[in-house]
Amino acid sequence: LWNEGYYAKRRDELLALMLQFELCYRVQDTEIYVAPQLLPGDVPKYDLGADIPLQLKYEYGFMPKGLLYRLIVRLHRHIAQGQSAVWNTGVVLERTGAQADIIESLDRRQISVRATGKRAKELVTIINEEFEKLHATYGERLKVEAKIPCNCQMCKPSQIPHFYDKRD
């Protein structure tokens, strides 16, 4: 569409709008732009390691379409595997000795975060701060609960622990 008549002359303007509205990002050190909503659903191979991950979960009363895409755009500089560990329902991020996957489940209206590594807590904090900023753009109408896993003796070693509201 952008190559046709009217739009061909406005390509830079359209791209600037897409960047401004967090619809795409520029891959570092290239002239390649990625629109996360247009990515295929193929999950790349990745390994968070054998450690029990730090976890965080966001559950929505109504989940706005595009929330994960905007998060990917905001955090694209941390995408793992040379910025290729991203697909249309998730992303793997890495930063200073930590890795995290963020996976959206529209049918369950939730986004889950799992992080491992020496500085996993720092990476989860960065991710959580960006989610809070995104949630704030929707105002009071967005109903979201951030949940953290139980750390009792039974849940702590479990891959599927019980989750509690983060505010408690």
* Mean pLDDT (10-residue bins), the chain, 168 residues: 70 89 91 93 90 90 93 96 94 95 95 95 96 94 89 74 73
pLDDT at 165: 83
pLDDT at 11: 81
What pLDDT is attached to residue 1? Answer: 58
Spatial separation of the C-alpha atoms in residues 168 and 146, rounded to whole Å: 10
3-state secondary structure of 49: coil
The pLDDT, as a whole number, for residue 122 is 96
Q: What's residue 151's pLDDT?
A: 78
The whole-number pLDDT of residue 3 equals 67
Residue among 134, 125, 124 nearest 64 (CA): 134
Residues 67, 16 contacting (CB under 8 angstroms): no
In this structure, the strands spanning 144-149 and 86-87 are: unpaired
Q: Give the contacts of 138 (CB within 8 A, at least 6 positions apart).
A: 64
Q: Tell the residue number behind the tokens 């406005």, with chain if given.
A: 10
**Helices vs strands, H then E, count in the chain:** 5, 9
pTM of the predicted model, to two decimals? 0.88
pLDDT for the residue numbered 168:
45
